[in-house]
Amino acid sequence: MPPKDQFMMMNLYRLNSQYRRVLLLAAALMLAGCASSGSEQGAPEQGTVIEAQRIAEAAAAARAAEERARIAAAEAERERQAAAARQQAEQRAQAEAAAQAQAEREAAARAQAAAEQRQRQAEAAQVARIAELEAEIAAARASTGTVATANGKLEEAIAAAEELLEVLNAEQLKYGNTNAAGEPVEPLQKELIADLEARKDSLKQEAQALTQQ
């Protein structure tokens, strides 16, 4: 109990004790008055009446003081309850504010984490796209190189075919000078012709194989 309430209760207890003492004193005086009236008939009663009136006034004052003390104690109790209610309301408001702040911090943290996740995904997608483009470029370069190689093989095959054509034309001229058996007097270059034919066919096959890759 707060010190103020304890003080009010102590005052109320003191007033109750004083009120009881006043009542006991009034009863004693009344008994004394009755006894004296029996033994001293004709004594003046004015003093007894005044004393009884004084006692009654004191009792009324004590009752009034007791009522004031009761009202003050009740008011103090109401103030205590109101203060306790205000304190509880403040504590609830503080708890709600703390919970709201915590919720906002958690929401901000989730938003930050989501943004970072999206950024990581975007970066990963960009890296994957770059790798894909690099692979496409490498494949294109390889294809270009293959085509270039195939074209080179074809050029070599064409050159071999042209050389073979020249040799065959030269060999054809040899048939203009033949012996009695109908064979050219100048020997034919059969091995050269066979080599050129084989080289032409080989280069052609290599070029075809490269273009099919």
Nearest Cα residue to 65 out of 73, 2, 5, 81? 73
Q: pLDDT tens-digit profile of 12-51?
A: 444 445 445 545 555 555 555 544 444 444 444 667 778 7
CB atoms within 10 A of CB 197: 15
Give residue 137's pLDDT.
Answer: 67
Give residue 29's pLDDT.
Answer: 53
Identify whether the C-beta of residue 52 lies closer than 8 Å to the C-beta of residue 96. no
Give residue 180's pLDDT.
Answer: 73
Residues of the chain where predicted confidence (pLDDT) is lower than 50:
3-16, 18-19, 22, 34-44
Identify whether the C-beta of residue 29 lies closer than 8 Å to the C-beta of residue 59. no
Q: What is the pTM of this model?
A: 0.39
Give residue 63's pLDDT.
Answer: 87
- Distance, in Å, from the CA atom of 70 to the CA atom of 8, rounded to the nearest integer, reads 8
- Distance, in Å, from the CA atom of 156 to the CA atom of 204, rounded to the nearest integer, reads 9
- Distance, in Å, from the CA atom of 106 to the CA atom of 112, rounded to the nearest integer, reads 10
Domain ranges of the chain: 53-212
